[in-house]
Amino acid sequence: MVKELSWYLESNRFSNLVVELDNSLRNYETAKKAGAPEEQQFILREQARALFEDHAVRSGLREEGKSFINIDAEFFEEDTLDEKASDSFIKNIIKGHCWQKHLWMYMGTTGTFTIISKKEMAKQGLKYEDYLPIEYKKQNPAKKPYAEKLGKNEEHFYVYGEGTVSKEYIAEKAELRFDRLKDTSGMKWSSGYDPNGSVVKTGWHGEYDSKGTWVRVEEPAGQQGSQP
């Protein structure tokens, strides 16, 4: 954490980065206009591409693995640098880095949020992971329960209390809810046997299905069952 934060706190960090990114494109432009050997142009183009891709990912402008930048197509018109396009891209990289710096500055607070804090954020439509620095998330990936307890030839499925199954872990569904144990059959179990008794049904009724099995059928809101 200290190492990543110190990178942002270095004097003239962003202005120097702008110069470095811009110079990488201008060096390539000079070589193109001078008709330099293809090998030399290739080296300069790859240096610019690697530099832009690295900072596009680190600033959050692009995702890792989807960061390819075609230097010629995105920043050049034949041999001439498209300064409007390059300036716009560089500005977006700097904006992204400024946001990452902000996240690192408050990492001491956000890194200690409790599950209660995270739930409150979720209620407001905020995703906790969006407020963690990219490099921090890369070094500390979220682990799913039991993720490291499976053998190589086993596949994991998560089964939730309401009866659904999925390969992805969904924290909200995994919460324990004791209200699911509430009896909704309509039977009054505390009463003695009464041959004239009936089941109080709300929102459902019973009927035979196509196989002759007596089943419970849910009804639309406002409609009441009528069978005993």
Per-residue pLDDT band at 228 (split at 50, 70, 90): very low
What pLDDT is attached to residue 12?
93
Contact 53, 67 (CB under 8 A): yes
Average pLDDT estimate for 30-47: 95
Q: For residues 84 and 179, give the distance between their C-alpha atoms in angstroms, rounded to a whole number.
A: 60
Contact 82, 75 (CB under 8 A): yes
Per-residue model confidence as pLDDT tens digits over 96-147: 999 999 999 988 888 888 888 888 898 898 988 899 999 988 888 776 655 5
Per-residue pLDDT band at 149 (split at 50, 70, 90): low
Residue 87 predicted with pLDDT over 90: yes
205 backbone dihedrals φ, ψ, rounded to 5°: -150, 165
From residue 188, how far is each of 207, 214, 217 by CA, in Å? 20, 20, 20
Q: For residues 217 and 185, give the distance between their C-alpha atoms in angstroms, rounded to a whole number.
A: 12
Average pLDDT estimate for 60-64: 91
Contact 202, 190 (CB under 8 A): no
% of the chain at pLDDT higher than 70: 85
Residue 225 predicted with pLDDT over 50: no
Least-confidence region, from 13-22, 77-86, 135-144 = 135-144
What pLDDT is attached to residue 152?
60
Q: Where are the alpha helices (DSSP H) in the chain?
A: 2-9, 13-33, 38-58, 71-75, 83-105, 107-110, 115-123, 134-139, 171-174
Q: At what angle do helices 13-33 and 83-105 cross, to 10 degrees?
A: 150
Residue 52 predicted with pLDDT over 90: yes
Strand partners, 81: 76
From residue 219, how far is each of 208, 227, 228 by CA, in Å? 15, 13, 15
What pLDDT is attached to residue 227?
45
How much is the pTM?
0.62
Residue 207 predicted with pLDDT over 90: no
In our burial notation (b when 16+ CB lie closer than 10 A, e otherwise), range 131-158 reads: bbbbbbeeeeeeeeeeeeeeeeeeeeeb
What pLDDT is attached to residue 4?
82
Contact 31, 44 (CB under 8 A): yes
Per-residue model confidence as pLDDT tens digits over 168-179: 777 777 776 666
Q: For residues 3 and 147, give the distance between their C-alpha atoms in angstroms, rounded to a whole number.
A: 29
What pLDDT is attached to residue 163?
74
Question: Tokens for 104?
Answer: 């690192």
